[in-house]
Amino acid sequence: MPICINWLKFCLNHDFPIPEDVDWYEIFLFSEKHQLYGICSPLSYDIPIPTELLYEWIGIEQRLKSTNQHLNNRIVELTTSLANAGFMSCVLKGQGNATLYPHPDKRNPGDIDVWVDSDQDRLFHFVRGQFPEAVECMKHIKYPIFPDVEVDIHNTPLKLYSPLHDKRLQTWIQWNKAEQFSHQIRLDGTDTDISIPTAQFNAVYQLGHIMIHLLDQGVGLRQLVDYYYVLKNLEGITKEEKESIINTWQELGMGKLAEGIMWIEKEMLGLPDRYVFIEPNEKRGKLIAADILEGGNFGKFSRRQEFNKHGKIARGITDLWRFGKLSSCFPEEDLFRCLSKGRSAVGILFGMRR
């Protein structure tokens, strides 16, 4: 694993030396686990690689380029359709994050998340008017408008489990909403402007997104590489703006997590010191890193997945054990997540007894 991390660090920051004695098969599997095929690709470097892996990576890079362009086109279709229906929209994460990369078409793409300027009732009524069986989640509703791309529509970009933190978060989102919907860019290969969040908004929002996924499923290094470029995109902001971001982290219960994530960004991914504006915490960083490296992209490779196959009670037990390990990184959010899990577990047990 250290070889893979060192290779990833070099790919992100060429100030670091090229690792020696690279095991390309190990790096390929690492890239699959964390959805970093494009970032970890050796094709841009004059490095010998086994022929079969070379051809495999060439094919993957071509598919990434094609898929990214297709997603860009779908986003324009989606945002235009929403505008015609009377909704302002802002594309979250995904293809917006790709624009921060030196080579956007090398980012492994996922689904489309779009934030719509609407209250929940109006938005859900709009979606279910077209798709009555649309599935509702914690902060979004599925919008199966395309046969080949999954779309999640949000009436708020993020929700937290702690009632106090969530109330503060929603107030902060409302204060910053207008700027996000007016912050426009143009995706590669398209001819229509779309809105994406600013770097300062993403510094808070995407850290919160990482926190929720650590609590719910897990995150892979792809999300941490996204955040690496979010932090680099903050270059040039004022001291007061940096302090505002740090204060917001603290007010939303993300301060300890920020310290741990900053350690990963600096020590594992090679983020230059000038982008590290909160003191990294090695203990929390290693705790989070162990969970990320073991679980891979959204925790899909975690050993706990085997326990989850034995039903909801087994999953609840493994979740609570994992929450205990990570609780020092976001104690209040962890507490309210555990209470939520506990209520679900009690409901299951009473249901079984009846």
What average pLDDT score do residues 344-348 get? 40
How close are the terminal C-alpha atoms of the chain, in Å? 49
Question: Are 107 and 39 contacting, i.e. CB atoms less than 8 angstroms apart?
Answer: yes
Q: Is the pLDDT of residue 316 over 90?
A: no
Q: Is the pLDDT of residue 92 over 90?
A: yes
d(CA 32, CA 34): 6
CB 189: neighbour CB atoms within 10 A?
Answer: 14
Amino acid letter for position 247: N
* DSSP reduced 3-state for 99: coil
**241: exposed, middle or buried (Cβ count in 10 Å: 0-12, 13-18, 19+):** middle
- Percent of the chain clearing pLDDT 70 (strictly above): 88
- Percent of the chain clearing pLDDT 90 (strictly above): 70
User: Tens digit of pLDDT for each residue in 231-289?
Assistant: 999 988 999 999 999 999 999 999 999 999 999 999 999 999 999 989 999 999 999 99
At residue 54, the pLDDT reads 92
Predicted TM-score (pTM) of this structure:
0.90
Q: Which of 223, 221, 194 is nearest to 207 (CA)?
A: 223
d(CA 229, CA 19): 22
d(CA 119, CA 132): 18
User: Tens digit of pLDDT for each residue in 2-12?
Assistant: 889 999 999 99
d(CA 132, CA 135): 9
